[in-house]
A = this chain, B = another copy of it.
Amino acid sequence: MVVTDTIELDTQGRADMLNITGAVAESVKACGIKSGIVTIFCPGSTSAITTIEYESGALSDLKRTFDDIAPPDADYAHNQRWGDGNGHSHVRAALLGPSLTVPFLDGELLLGTWQQITYCDFDNRPRSRRLVLQILGD
């Protein structure tokens, strides 16, 4: 069985990090599949998805690490070609990755207690986003 769902989000960009655990859990619970996997996918090349303990300290530490790895104000060939100033967003999104697959059992995501599914919008401006959830199982 396969069920496709979506999550709509408004973000601030600039490494805005949003906790989407509740929305994913609801979708899985409502879909009628008892056990399987949910793939959360970001259609786009300037945002990504991972898990983290969703508290302000860890979030700001992760943002600072991305500022070190791909600073917004460094020279990017992407920016020289396109002038949109989000070269760092593309690098960060490619590194972190657009796809996360999470198992569930009896309708419950098998996450750790302090582990939240977190969407990271690295673009350099506010965006409206639609994420895809593809749920497979029995």
The residues of A with any CB-CB pair to B shorter than 8 Å are 1-2, 4, 35-37, 39, 41-45, 50-53, 55-58, 60-62, 65, 68-70, 76-82, 87, 90-91, 93-103, 105, 110-112, 114-116, 118, 132, 134, 136-138
* A50 contact set on B, CB distance < 8 A: 94-95, 97-98
List B contacts of A97 (CB < 8 A): 50-51, 96-97, 100
Q: Are B41 and A65 in contact (CB under 8 A)?
A: no
Contacting pair B58 A78 (CB below 8 A): yes
How many copies altogether?
A: 3
A138 touches B35 (CB 8 A): no
Q: Are A96 and B99 in contact (CB under 8 A)?
A: no
How far in angstroms is the closest Cβ of chain B from A118? 8
**Contact: A58 with B87, CB < 8 Å?**
yes
Contact B100 A99 (CB under 8 A): yes
A100 / chain B contacts, CB cutoff of 8 Å: 97-99
In the complex, residue of chain B having the shortest beta-carbon distance to the beta carbon of A100: B99
Q: Are B61 and A77 touching (Cβ within 8 A)?
A: yes
A1 touches B112 (CB 8 A): no
How many whole Å from A30's CB to the nearest CB in chain B? 18
In the complex, residue of chain B having the shortest beta-carbon distance to the beta carbon of A116 = B45
Cα(A50)–Cα(B95), bound, Å: 8
Whether B39 and A101, one on each chain, are in contact in the complex, defined by CB atoms closer than 8 angstroms, is: yes
